Structure 1
Amino acid sequence: MSVLSLILLILIAGAALWLVLEPLRAGTPSDPDAPERDRLNAQQAQLYAELAALPDGPDGERRRPDLERRAALTLRALDALPPRPRPAPRTRTLALGALVAAFALTVVGAVTFVPRWQLASLQPAEAANVQATLRLPGLKAQAERTGAAADYLAWGKAAFDSSTYDQAVTAYGNALKLDPRQPEALRRLGILLLTRGEQSGQTLSAEDAQRAALLIRTGAQLAPNEPESQLLLGFALARFGQDDQALTALERYRTLDPGGRDADDLITAIRARQNSSDPALRVYAASCASCHGPSGGGGIGPSLRDSALTREAARQVIVQGKGAMPAFPDLKASDLNALLNLLESWQDTGSR
């Protein structure tokens, strides 16, 4: 986008320059009598200077008539010359119009292409936040004017994305009054309610916590294949201490959005809580989770819960490696046995 903006700015600058210079390109019309006019003007100036310098007395009075006669003749000769050519009125009008047009083009460039060019220097998330903030007044006015659910959703999305959460609550609340089956509005209102204490410093009541969980769960049930549904569900489950279910939701989020990194910190925190009491999980988190998922459900590597490998075959793959999987020959015997026990338990229960 920055290359396109630069090209458009160059075109605008070129057009403005052409409009300003075009009326002046021909210049002032030529004056064929200019040499004679200049000579007579110089002669007139010299005669006036001599008249002004005449001394008082007989000698000055004797010379004055001749100088006055010559000055009159010079002035008469100047008056006899054709008038000096002047720029045509159309040229002046066109020049003025060009200046106005150039100013208008500059303003248009300033309020359209320049901001887009500046946005191109921001990270994608930052640029989206700025654009959402700029759209807020117009989207709010449109939603209040039409009262349509779609317009309230558009306003709510822009408000949520720009962290203007008070407007997001109002917009999404109005959208749900018109249509209570709005997954985006449900899950986002739920997460705003769940985190309200962090934003306001107030303690979240048990009733509000349960209401927030219900909103988020309902949003996830209505749109299970939307990455944000699983992300916010995982966040809510973790807040209620349901780490296994939270990891399942967050793994689902990573499957739906392989490039999404919003769950990384939470997954790491959940692993840390689990690994502190389970040596097998600690080994798995350190050596396996980055490829096979935080709870063995698969990722870059295959699901270990669906694996049909025997204990001995799994031991050989772990120690010697296979295909894209690296070898881990330095694992302690106790750690390796604990890891194999964990894998066997996952095979027994299958995918949760």
Structure 2
Amino acid sequence: MLLLVLVLLACVWLVTEPLRGGTPPDPDATERARLETERARLYADLAALTDETRRPDLERRAALTLRALDALPPAPRPARQTRTLALTLLGGAALLTVVGALTFVPRWQLASLDRGEAEDVQATLRLPALKAQAERSGSSAAYMNWGRAAFDSSQYDQAVTAYGNALKLNPRQPEALRRLGILLLTRGEQTGQVPSAEDAQRAALLIRTAAQLAPDEPESQLLLGFALARFGEQQAALTALERYRTLDPRGRDADDLITAIRARQNKSTPGLRVYAARCASCHGPSGAGGIGPSLRASTLSREALTQVITQGKGAMPAYPNLKGTELAALLTVLEGWQQGAARP
């Protein structure tokens, strides 16, 4: 009964708001319009891109624009224009509330949230039942359902327990492996304590194993990239994150980290700046191949590489103006990739 009264009062307040005043001004309207225009322009540029050397910069600017839009407060909702419409809505809301309170109220509450928030709320509400079912049945599937709901609703202690029990029953479950691994690795962010070296190594093993078991699952590559970046393996992390974006082109979870890694690499390694500008469009962002062959699998000597770069070969264009310190820096990067590929 109390819930019904509260819902009715909320309906009265919201629906009669137009009777109390006009639409409040949006102080961020100018900035919001500018960012939306910039977002549309960057997306159009990416869709029509012909020069792949521009892709990293365009993707970085698009990610920054999306973050800036997300940081703006929601725009004020427009008020209703007439007293008749407001009173009609009030009557309809009251009628629906009285008739369908028990079945509609939860849906109305979720309707005010975006899709992700609504799913998190629903996952949290399911947790007690899923936990009880897992403990009662003791099945791997039940523990996985509990772990998934706990992870999605940020109940990480429960997720660790659920995924740990699921792995005891079946140790070859990529989702449980990678999520348990990332939770162990990032435990310090939740508790304020730095994970021990033993926990860090165990987490890395779990995440790598998950990526080996399910290399084509986007989350495997995403979490592998995050883990590798934490261990300082920047190039390997970038490779995994690029793979994640290939598997899930709409996924944006790796944008910030990819941008940060590229910025660090280009700042610390002059040869990578040259590679990004001259070579990445054909040989891939990390030299693993694309339109052109993999440079990591190359066995050419430094002299042979110099000749191909400056004179061209086959479909490979010549870069005769690339010389001096820039050429030397690029050759050092390519030789480093060759040596890395040759390691067992």
Shift of 1:252: 2.0
Q: Choose which of 149, 159, 164 in structure 2 pairs with 1:158.
A: 149
Give CA deviations for 1:243-266 in whole Å, capped at 9, x if unaligned.
232222222222222222222222
Contact 2:144 / 2:176 at 8 angstroms: preserved in 1?
yes
5+ residue gaps, structure 2, are: 1-94, 299-304
Q: Secondary structure at the match of 2:123?
A: helix
Contact 2:181 / 2:203 at 8 angstroms: preserved in 1?
yes
Q: Choose which of 168, 180, 184 in structure 2 pairs with 1:189.
A: 180
| Structure 1 segment 107-186 matched on structure 2, within 5 A | 107-112=102-107, 114-119=108-113, 122=114, 124-186=115-177
Matched with 1:105 is: 100
| Structure 1 segment 10-25 matched on structure 2, within 5 A | none
Contact 1:139 / 1:155 at 8 angstroms: preserved in 2?
yes
CA distance in 2, matches of 1:135, 1:264: 31
CA distance in 2, matches of 1:198, 1:111: 33
Highest RCO, 1 vs 2 (Cα 8 Å, sep ≥ 6)? 2
Shift of 1:174: 1.3
Q: Secondary structure at the match of 1:276?
A: helix
Which of the pair has more CA radius of gyration?
1
Shift of 1:196: 0.9
CA distance in 2, matches of 1:199, 1:229: 22
Moved more, 335-344 or 261-270: 335-344
Contact 1:305 / 1:351 at 8 angstroms: preserved in 2?
no
Q: Secondary structure at the match of 2:249?
A: coil
Distance 1:111-1:235 versus aligned 2 partners, 3 A rule:
closer
Distance 1:316-1:228 versus aligned 2 partners, 3 A rule:
closer
Shift of 1:350: 11
5+ residue gaps, structure 1, are: 1-99, 320-330
Give CA deviations for 1:176-201 in whole Å, capped at 9, x if unaligned.
12212111111111111111122211
Distance 1:105-1:295 versus aligned 2 partners, 3 A rule:
same
Alignment pair present for 1:272 and 2:263: yes
The amino acid across from 1:305 in the alignment is S
Contact 1:297 / 1:351 at 8 angstroms: preserved in 2?
no
TM-score (norm 2): 0.57
Contact 2:271 / 2:333 at 8 angstroms: preserved in 1?
no
Distance 1:201-1:293 versus aligned 2 partners, 3 A rule:
farther
Count of residues in Structure 1 that have an aligned counterpart in Structure 2: 238
| Structure 1 segment 1-352 matched on structure 2, within 5 A | 103-112=98-107, 114-119=108-113, 122=114, 124-285=115-276, 293-297=284-288, 302=291, 305=294, 310-311=308-309, 312-313=311-312, 337=327, 341=331
Contact 1:186 / 1:215 at 8 angstroms: preserved in 2?
yes
Q: Secondary structure at the match of 2:220?
A: helix
CA distance in 2, matches of 1:196, 1:316: 48
Q: CA RMSD in A?
A: 3.8
The amino acid across from 2:177 in the alignment is L
